[in-house]
Amino acid sequence: MEFDLSWLLLGVPIVFALGWLASRFDLRQLRIENRQAPKAYFKGLNYLLNEQQDQAIDAFIEAVQRDPDTTELHFALGNLFRRRGEYERAVRVHEHLLSRADLPLSDRERAQHALALDFLKAGLLDRAEEALRKLDGTRYQDQAWLTLLSLYERGRDWPQATAVAQRLAQRQQGDFAHRLAHYLCEQAATAQAKHKDFQRAQQLLRDAIAQAPDAARPRIQLAGSMAAQGDSATAFAHLLELEDHAPQALPLVASELVRIGNELGELERARSVLRRRYAVDPSVDIADALVQADVASGVSLKQAREGYVRHMVQEPSLIAAARWLSQESFAHDGAHEAVQRSVEDAARPLARYRCAACGFEAQGYFWQCPGCQAWDSFPPRRIEEL
Ligand SMILES: [Zn+2]
């Protein structure tokens, strides 16, 4: 058989030319697309910088439609939706990313994390929890656990919070001893208040003391539980322990220490603990408790209230001034009530406690801030003394 070489000579250039044309066409098409995609992208970026988020989103959607494989653009769009509170759209973007089989593992983890944030911001806490749990074993794991921890705390799910805090502690993500003690104290408070189960409450509080020996709350709460059951001696002993373990918290229990001390005939012990603390750190609550102790031991109020003056010499204090004034007789007796009320009104806001983390102010003392949910963020001192 003879080959017809002329076909071959003619065919090769034709195939070559067709291939070249096809490649030119593809390249041109690609160039047009590439030129259009960045254009839409830059347009979006420009809008974003001008804080025109609506227009930015339109431009990004256009860019994403032209090139559905642009992962970064999807992330940007998803974050933008979330920040604007359009959670449903944010979820759709991130779920779309997750549905892509070609997505690299690192982007898949990132999308899963973004999805968890969407649910969290949307307040869909069950779905957020589920999404966060899926981040186990990824580079977002510790972050996810910290978020889970705050979720469980918000839901007051103390056993779950305990499990997560223990895992975080094992991974050296911080010191969780005090937090774990707080969880036990919370469970103790519920056992006592809701179920009247003093025994369980006190066992939980003893566990909390073992968990964080230098924490003030378990000892104060245990003393309160013992006193509520009529065991003043044990309550007093737990309050006295504060001097060695958490002396900064003594102002919080100063007047309780005097009350129980007086009841037990141990006023002098209470007084000496308070005097020692006052010498290191003069606080108006301790000054006040020492005045109460003097009165309890038989000193007249008129004489005992000199304690307020001694305190004011050291630390100018409107709170102490108001208390001292209440027993002062005026030359113009008719003025007493008005002056007293004015000083008390001025002193009242100064007698509050304030969260050091967020500035939330409260009449009472909180172990966890109702404003920012931080633990131990209230210094045990009145605003006037901060
Ligand atoms: Zn706060």
Distance in Å, CA 279 to ligand 1 centroid: 30
Residue 333: what pLDDT?
Answer: 73
Q: Kindly report the backbone phi and psi dihedral angles of residue 41, in degrees, each rounded to the nearest multiple of 5, phi listed first.
A: -65, -50
Q: Which CATH code is given to the segment(s) 179-289?
A: 1.25.40.10
Q: What is the mean pLDDT of the chain?
A: 89
Distance in Å, CA 378 to ligand 1 centroid: 8
Q: Are the beta carbons of 61 and 55 closer than 8 angstroms?
A: no
Residue 168 pLDDT exceeds 60: yes
Distance in Å, CA 178 to ligand 1 centroid: 17
Residue 358 is assigned to a ligand binding site = yes
Mean per-residue pLDDT, 227-237: 97
Residue 355 is assigned to a ligand binding site = yes
* Lowest-confidence pick of 6-15, 136-145, 199-208, 271-280: 6-15
Distance in Å, CA 362 to ligand 1 centroid: 10
Distance in Å, CA 120 to ligand 1 centroid: 20
Distance in Å, CA 197 to ligand 1 centroid: 31
Mean per-residue pLDDT, 103-132: 94
Indicate the pLDDT class of residue 307, thresholds 50, 70 and 90.
very high
CA distance 317 to 309: 9
Distance in Å, CA 105 to ligand 1 centroid: 38
Which residues have a beta carbon within 5 Å of ligand 1, which is an ion? 355, 357-358, 360, 369, 371-372
Question: Regarding predicted confidence, which is higher, 74 or 1?
Answer: 74
Distance in Å, CA 72 to ligand 1 centroid: 36
Beta strands in the chain (DSSP E): 353-354, 361-362
Mean per-residue pLDDT, 196-202: 97
- Our separate counts of H helices and E strands in the chain read 19, 2
* CATH architecture for segment(s) 68-163: Alpha Horseshoe (1.25)
Phi-psi category of 369—alpha, beta or left, where left has phi over 0 and alpha has psi -120 to 50?
Answer: beta
0.95 surpassed by pTM: no
Distance in Å, CA 383 to ligand 1 centroid: 14
Name which of 64, 73, 146 is nearest 107 in CA terms: 73
Mean per-residue pLDDT, 112-140: 95
CA 265 to chain centre: 43
Residue 69: what pLDDT?
Answer: 72
Q: Are the beta carbons of 319 and 384 closer than 8 angstroms?
A: yes
Mean per-residue pLDDT, 170-180: 94
Distance in Å, CA 114 to ligand 1 centroid: 27
Residue 372 is assigned to a ligand binding site = yes
Residue 1: what pLDDT?
Answer: 44
Decide: helix, strand or coil at residue 375.
strand
Cβ neighbours of residue 38 closer than 8 Å, sequence gap 6 or more: none
Residue 16: what pLDDT?
Answer: 59
Residue 185 is assigned to a ligand binding site = no
Residue 364: what pLDDT?
Answer: 96
Distance in Å, CA 370 to ligand 1 centroid: 7
Residue 125: what pLDDT?
Answer: 93
